[in-house]
A and B are shown apart, each in its own frame.
Chain A
Amino acid sequence: MKAESGANALAAILGGSRRALARAMSAVENETAAGKALLRELQPHLGRARVLGITGPPGAGKSTLVNALIGAWLARGARIGVVAVDPSSPFSGGAILGDRIRMGEHQAHERVFIRSLASRGHGGGLSRTTARVIDLLDAAGCDRIIVETVGAGQSEVEVAEIADTRVVLCPPGLGDEVQALKAGILEIADILVVNKADLPLAERTERELLGMLSLRHYDDWTPRVVRTVATSGAGVAELIELIERHAAACASQRRSHGGRVRRLIAASAADWVKRRVESLASAEFEQLCALVQRGELDYASADLRAVELALRAEKKT
């Protein structure tokens, strides 16, 4: 069977073809020319879905919680897309995509579309093209899209750009790990979930999180804490209530689709600059580094010049 190309693929996706959607995801994931062309055509059809990001340490119960959320949103009539990212092995490049194991309950439902992605060496808990796979689900008519990151413990900040609402799982009894976790997550979490609340220490973890939140100042949304037992569904209704409240609180501003596009452009521009500057090989760049090393130039000035060098190198090629 021929893969549908260009306008055909777009029409098929908008028309509800799951096969066309799945094939397009592969094209996008593999960054083929057809995939890139499709993404451009797709842009006017985006902005309807709300994207929920779920992150947290390995085994925190992310997939199990996704399963519970799918069930609850299905009951409300939503169409749901799920993107689950698992780590690629740095040695072989292979991956076991196992998140679906815990999402099994509703995966046969026709209003659910689940796609597993391997991170393929990309840091930040996602794969390079995760945002674009989300776009495809959006265009295909999903109301809700859930993204589960690699369970990495920290540095999944990238989900902050992709998601409209960010949920961070913080299971009880992590000990020292919880400290490391907290450092990064308090920056990005809209909702903190103490999952596995059936285990000892859940209340203590909740109190600790609330304590840390009370020390900070937030402008438009103060992160909330909720306890859940993903395996039984306890607390999931409260979590959904918080997700809706967050959506309402942020509807007018940054966390809308327009905001998502802004954030994503900023993030990919930053990524572009980083890669180009890192690969600068000119004598001028070496001079710049030397100046900073000798203390003759501050970083802020060097940054700007490095960006200029990168831009100039780009124009030459």
Chain B
Amino acid sequence: MTTQPPKVLVTKIGLDGHDRGSRVVASFLRDAGMEVVYTPPWQDIAAVVKLALEEDVDVIGISSLATDHLIVPKLMRSLYAAGLQDIAVIVGGIVPDADEALLLEAGVAKVFHPGSALEEIAAEIVRLTRARRELNV
């Protein structure tokens, strides 16, 4: 079997409507050879779960500018309830340390803070994708 590119969902949940950041990330990941499902902002949790399931993505990237990351634990619970615990979730944005601990505890694979290199994010996605596919074979 040839290695297929990672399939990533880049999305925003919650109220914050700025999607410039997630657009930049999406284009970068495309240029890094990934298949990126892109959505407009303001997705609700049920929509994200259904989309991730139908598209069978390897990784979900949530971009959060304001306090949207606080909804992520709820997303994690919904993903688990739908049997999607093999899909890795990463969060990018301004996330205080205390909140980061909360997210990691909820099952988030990694939090990227402002200033993180895009290469670093891409490398993490590749790693998470490989891990998922080894699990799923």
Residues of B close to A33: CB separation below 8 A: 1
Interface residues of A in 41-85 (CB under 8 A from B): none
Residues of A close to B56: CB separation below 8 A: 22-23, 25-26
- Dominant secondary structure of chain A at its interface with chain B: mixed
Interface residues of A in 74-104 (CB under 8 A from B): 88-89, 91-98, 100-101, 104
Residues of A close to B33: CB separation below 8 A: 92-94
Does B85 sit within 8 A of A, measured CB to CB?
yes
Interface string of B49-67 (1 = CB under 8 A from A): 0110111100000000000
| Shortest Cβ distance from A91 into B: residue | B31
Contact B35 A95 (CB under 8 A): yes
Does A2 sit within 8 A of B, measured CB to CB?
yes
Does A32 sit within 8 A of B, measured CB to CB?
yes
Q: How far is the CB of A3 from chain B (nearest CB, A)?
A: 5
**Cβ-neighbour of B36 out of A29, A96, A101 (below 8 A):** A96
Contact B136 A104 (CB under 8 A): no
Q: How far is the CB of B45 from chain A (nearest CB, A)?
A: 11
Interface string of B71-86 (1 = CB under 8 A from A): 0000000000011111
Residues of A close to B39: CB separation below 8 A: 100-101, 104
Decide: A97 near B37, CB < 8 A? Known: A2-B136, A30-B4. yes
Q: How far is the CB of A63 from chain B (nearest CB, A)?
A: 12
Does B98 sit within 8 A of A, measured CB to CB?
no
Contact A107 B50 (CB under 8 A): yes
Question: Size of chain B's interface in residues, with CB distance under 8 A?
Answer: 36
Residues of A close to B31: CB separation below 8 A: 89, 91-92, 94
Does B46 sit within 8 A of A, measured CB to CB?
yes
Q: How far is the CB of B58 from chain A (nearest CB, A)?
A: 9
**Cβ-neighbour of A94 out of B2, B35, B53, B135 (below 8 A):** B35
Contact A104 B1 (CB under 8 A): no
Interface residues of B in 1-39 (CB under 8 A from A): 1-2, 4-5, 7, 26-27, 29-39
Residues of B close to A116: CB separation below 8 A: 37, 55
| Shortest Cβ distance from B4 into A: residue | A30
Q: How far is the CA of A94 from the CA of B40 in the complex (A)?
A: 19
Most buried by B among A18, A29, A100: A100
Residues of B close to A26: CB separation below 8 A: 7, 56
Q: How far is the CA of A108 from the CA of B84 in the complex (A)?
A: 17
Q: How far is the CA of A26 from the CA of B86 in the complex (A)?
A: 15
Residues of A close to B36: CB separation below 8 A: 94-97
Contact B38 A1 (CB under 8 A): no
Does A128 sit within 8 A of B, measured CB to CB?
no
Contact B53 A32 (CB under 8 A): no
Does B117 sit within 8 A of A, measured CB to CB?
no
Q: How far is the CA of A29 from the CA of B4 in the complex (A)?
A: 9
**Cβ-neighbour of A3 out of B38, B53, B85, B137 (below 8 A):** B137
17 other A-B residue contacts (CB within 8 Å) besides A1-B135, A3-B137: A18-B53, A19-B82, A25-B56, A26-B56, A29-B4, A91-B31, A92-B33, A94-B36, A96-B30, A96-B38, A97-B38, A104-B40, A104-B47, A108-B44, A108-B46, A114-B51, A116-B37
Residues in chain B within 8 A of chain A (CB atoms) = 1-2, 4-5, 7, 26-27, 29-40, 44, 46-47, 50-51, 53-56, 82-86, 135-137
Residues in chain A within 8 A of chain B (CB atoms) = 1-3, 18-19, 22-23, 25-26, 29-30, 32-33, 88-89, 91-98, 100-101, 104, 107-108, 113-116, 118
